Amino acid sequence: MKKIGIISLSDRKSGFQTGHASTRRKTNILLKGPKNVKIGIPRAFYYHSYPGLWECFFRRLGHEPVVSPPSTQATLHKASAQTETEGCLPQKLFDGHVLSLIGKVDAVFVARIISIVKKYNCCPRFGALLDATRAGIARGVPLIPIEINETVAPLSKTLMKLARTTLGADTKTAKLAVKEAIEAMAQHHREEARRQREQTPGKRYLLLGHPYTLHDHFIADPMIKKMAQLQVPVELMSFAGSRHIKPGDILWCVFNQMYHKLHELDTQTYAGVIQISTFNCGADSMMADRFRRVCRQKGVPYMLLMMDEHTGKAGLDTRLEAFVDSLSWQKTGKAS
């Protein structure tokens, strides 16, 4: 397998010393032409925000995408020595995923996401993600960077650029790959919606969270399993239609969507809302209060579940059981 010539850290450093002009980030010169580069995709953040997109994209360009295995306690453990202690739980998981890829792949794919939806922004951690990864845990490891900023350029353009410059594909292949990748994501969303429709008859609970917490093996799975055990149907918050969202005063796109979703809730279909918050998430800390308020107005019971590295299964189970039980008692109490 050929080595990839991404600007190495030492190059950047020397460029830095010679002055500003030369420090302009040159487009990373992946050698033109090499096929079948092993590209590592951490199963975190943007993997879940753009489900199905990246694998398809890289495969179409003739490379080999390698997605890190689902997160477990071990992922976290791996990261714990090097990751920033004050970071949020998903950030730590991300670091763990990157670490688990290093050494197994030729380059790691890391995105800097400034906005996923036009005119809206994301958590500031996403903006720093690429540079922080480069300076921190993935020091000296070749990265494939991408900057996603829908406010400036639509996703297809960004992908096109990545394919043409960094990955050195020709226009025709690139175009095809972009088209198929986006289609793959749409397909994924459709699947999800269909599954959702099929399995949620009657009253259900809404599980609220970020795409990367709801679909994370470590964070949300225990809860989903527990709910299944209790035999209460749950609906995961879906961000499928995320390209067109309603305007609102919340500029973080994910939270805006959640906010509008909550506004549309009705007590007929939803028995309750459970928000999964992750430890040290600054955005959640600001928004949870607001969401609780909306739910109170709507008359839908609301619970906040905080997940951190040490959250034990027992504690989680107890809280979920208590929540579900208390709601069913309420109902029967009213009926009698």
Partner 1 sequence: MKERLAIPNLGNYTVALAAMVDGMGAEPWWSTYTHDHAMSLGIAAAPESVCLPFKAHLGHFLEADEAGVENAMMVNSIGACRLNYYRGMLDDTLKDMGRKIRLFGLGFDGFKPPVFRYFDPPIIPLLRAVFLGIEKIRTIDTIEIQTAFTRARELNTGETSLLTEHCLSELCGIDTKKRVQVFHKTVRERFKAIAIDKNRDPLRVGLIGEVSLLRDRQLNRNLEQILGHRGVETKNFFLLGGEIGNNFGISMGYKQQTARQLALVARPYLGCEVGGHARDSVAHTIHCAREGFDAMVHVCPTGCMPEVSIRPILRKVSEDMNIPVLELSFDEHTCALGVITRVEAFLDILQNRRRKGLTKAKSRGTS
Under the rule (CB under 8 A), what is the footprint of partner 1? 12-13, 15-16, 20, 23-25, 84, 86-88, 91, 112, 114, 121-125, 127-133, 135-137, 139, 147, 249-252, 280, 282-290, 293
Q: What does DSSP assign to residue 268?
A: T
Q: Which does 72 bind (CB under 5 to 8 A by kind): partner 1, ligand SF4, none?
A: none
Kindly tell me which of 91 and 100 has the beta carbon lying closer to ligand SF4. Answer: 91
**Candidates 54-62, 239-247, 266-274, 280-288; binding stretch for ligand SF4 (CB under 6 A):** 280-288
Residue 27: Cβ within 10 Å count: 13
Residue with tokens 């805006």: 256
Six-digit token string for 195: 């599954």
Nearest to 120 by CA among 262, 282, 209, 245: 245
289's contact among ligand SF4, partner 1, none, with CB below 5 to 8 A by partner kind, is partner 1
Q: How far is the CB of 140 from ligand SF4 (least distance, A)?
A: 25
- Between 123 and 142, how does the x/- string for binding to ligand SF4 read (CB under 6 A)? x-x-----------------
CB of 130 to partner 1, least distance (A): 7
58's CB contacts (< 8 A; 6+ apart) are 39, 41, 64, 65, 109
Can you tell me the distance from the alpha carbon of 226 to that of 313, in angstroms, rounded to the nearest whole number?
A: 10
Category of 103 on φ-ψ map: left (φ > 0), alpha (ψ -120 to 50) or beta: left
Binding segment toward ligand SF4, per CB under 6 A, in 198-206, 227-235, 239-247, 279-287 = 279-287
Query: By C-alpha distance, which of 220, 204, 224 is closest to 212?
Result: 220
> 26: which residues sit within 8 A by CB, 6+ positions away?
7
Nearer to ligand SF4, 85 or 268 (CB): 85
Q: Which of 40, 52, 65, 90 lies at the binding interface for ligand SF4 (CB under 6 A)?
A: 90
Residues in the chain: 336
CA 68 to CA 97: how far, in whole Å? 6
Segment contacting ligand SF4 (CB under 6 A): 29-37, 76-84, 223-231, 281-289?
281-289
Q: Is 163 in the site for ligand SF4 (CB under 6 A)?
A: no
> Which residues make up the interface to ligand SF4 (CB under 6 A)?
88, 90-91, 123, 125, 210, 278, 281-284
